[in-house]
């Protein structure tokens, strides 16, 4: 598991990297600590090679990555727009303990007014086109992150054809108001979603973080 520390809560941040101890004070940056914005807050993220870390300050506590996944797409394709829109809609969402998250409801109806465009889709085992094509890569990336973190789905449906961006059994299709991806926050603290679609690298990443 990777530890995230809310930056504004940390007076001093100490960590050990390859046997060397370091102290990070205030908002200074160092090679082995990365700052990332999740929702409305900035976090200090422990990078590879860090064996231990601690944050001192009033209210300072770690947020734990419960599951994450990254998949690739063609940033030049029309579906890239829909991937970016869907990722932006779920990014920063906080699910309270015992609360159920609905992917379908969160990303809003797939209409031009909501920012979605025409792109390739699967319909009953055949290739077609439709507004919002590509959103299922975001839901599938989230489902794969859930599987990686041991978070069970309360609703999930596979595609009618194989998808090129994930192995069989790790996808989750979304359709109309009848196919959804849902899960309940099984932890006793809030769970936050980080979702980022990078149109330069053609990657979409979903991370589930326990506060």
Give SS3 for 97.
coil
Instruction: Choose among 195, 198, 174: nearest CA to 110.
Output: 174
Helix ranges (DSSP H) in 91-209: 103-107, 135-149
Let me know: does 153 contact 182? Beta carbons within 8 Å.
yes
In the prediction, which pLDDT does 176 show? 86
Residue 19: C-alpha distances to residues 16, 30, 50, 52, 96 (Å): 6, 16, 9, 10, 38
Unique residue bearing structure tokens 């940056």: 29
Question: Can you give the pTM of this predicted structure?
Answer: 0.77
Q: How far apart are CA 161 and CA 167, in angstroms?
A: 12
Unique residue bearing structure tokens 């507004």: 131
What residues contact 178, with CB distance under 8 A and at least 6 apart?
Answer: none
Residue 72: C-alpha distances to residues 45, 141, 184 (Å): 23, 10, 27
Unique residue bearing structure tokens 């603290």: 189
In the prediction, which pLDDT does 18 show? 47
Torsion of CA 160, 86, 165, 191, to 10 degrees: -100
What residues contact 84, with CB distance under 8 A and at least 6 apart?
Answer: 197, 199
List the pLDDT tens digit at each of the 211 positions of the chain: 345 555 554 555 555 544 555 554 444 444 445 555 555 555 555 544 444 555 554 444 556 778 889 999 999 999 999 999 999 999 989 999 999 999 999 999 999 999 999 998 888 788 888 899 999 999 999 999 999 989 999 999 999 999 999 999 999 999 988 899 999 999 998 999 989 999 999 999 998 988 7
Helices (H), strands (E): how many in the chain? 3, 15
């Amino acid at each position: 598991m990777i530890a995230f520390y809310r930056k504004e809560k940390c007076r001093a941040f100490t960590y050990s990297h390859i046997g060397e101890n370091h102290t990070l004070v205030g908002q200074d940056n160092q090679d082995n600590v990365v700052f990332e914005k999740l929702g409305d807050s900035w976090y200090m993220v422990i990078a590879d090679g860090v064996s231990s870390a601690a944050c001192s300050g009033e209210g300072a506590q770690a947020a734990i990555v419960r599951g994450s996944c990254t998949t690739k797409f063609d940033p030049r394709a029309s579906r890239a727009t829909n991937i970016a829109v869907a990722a932006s809609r779920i990014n920063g969402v906080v699910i309270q303990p015992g609360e159920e998250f609905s992917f379908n409801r969160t990303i809003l109806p797939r209409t031009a007014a909501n920012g979605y465009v025409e792109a390739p889709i699967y319909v009953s085992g055949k290739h077609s086109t439709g507004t919002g094509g590509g959103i299922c890569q975001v839901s599938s990336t989230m489902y794969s992150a859930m599987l990686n973190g041991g978070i069970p789905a309360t609703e999930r449906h596979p595609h009618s054809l194989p998808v090129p961006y994930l192995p069989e059994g790790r996808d989750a299709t979304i359709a109309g108001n009848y196919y959804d991806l849902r899960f309940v926050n099984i932890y006793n603290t809030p769970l936050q979603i980080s979702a980022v679609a990078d149109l330069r690298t053609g990657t979409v990443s979903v991370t589930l973080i326990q506060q």
